Amino acid sequence: METCKETKMKFSENKPYWFLRTLTFVRISRQMTDGAFTLIEQFLAPGSESPYHIHSKEAEVIYVLDGNLSFVVGRERFDKGPNESVFLPKGVPHAFKVLGNNPARILLETFPGEFESFVVEMSEQAKSLEIPNNPIIDVKKLKIVAMRFGIEILSPFPMNVA
């Protein structure tokens, strides 16, 4: 028999994190879904980008709430704006970058939900509800921690993709 888990957590109760160059909230934790998925909300500064990377353990869906982003998935590039989404399959290299002069806000869902642990480990507790201003990213640490979670960092955001 299936059971329904009711959650009492309100969005305002989530701890804010500074994850790389984002203000990040874990909105639905993997504990709340028995590991099935995690839902993360991120606020991204203009021009911020993820590295080109591969997840060996999870697929992702990114839903754009605000702003415009350019995605590279495999060797394809395309742009998405508010109320658009992109599916990022497990095992396919991908990256994204915020376009223009405005910040972006996304919902990031991963299946299963282990990505949340990577985010928390690579984050610091946010000191304010603002996107961090040009934090220094320890790339060596990022690559080591990512590898432990089945994520391979390949390169910076690829500029020369069709």
Residue-number span of the structural domain to which 120 is assigned: 13-155
In a domain, 137, yes or no: yes
Q: 7 in a domain, yes or no?
A: no
Q: Is 6 inside any structural domain?
A: no
Residues 106-137: b if buried by 16+ CB within 10 A, e if exposed: bbbbbbbbbbbbbbbebbeebeeeebbeeeee
- What's the mean per-residue pLDDT of the chain? 90
The domain that contains 99 carries what CATH number? Answer: 2.60.120.10
Domain count, the chain: 1
Inside any domain, residue 27: yes
- Note whether 24 and 42 are within 8 A (CB): yes
Is 45 part of any domain? yes
Asked whether residue 2 carries a pLDDT value surpassing 80, the answer given is no
Element (H, E) at 99: strand 94-99
Q: How far apart are CA 162 and CA 150, in angstroms?
A: 27
- Give the tens place of pLDDT for each residue, 40-88: 999 999 999 999 999 999 999 999 999 999 999 998 999 999 999 999 9
Burial class (CB in 10 A: 0-12, 13-18, 19+), 12: exposed
Q: Are 103 and 66 in contact (CB under 8 A)?
A: yes
Q: What is the pTM of this model?
A: 0.89
Q: What is the pLDDT of residues 89-112, one digit of tens each?
A: 999 999 999 999 999 999 999 999
Quick one: pLDDT at residue 133?
Answer: 85
Is 162 a domain residue? no
Look at residue 13 in the predicted model and tell me its pLDDT.
56
In a domain, 3, yes or no: no
From CA 98, how far away is CA 66, in angstroms rounded?
A: 10
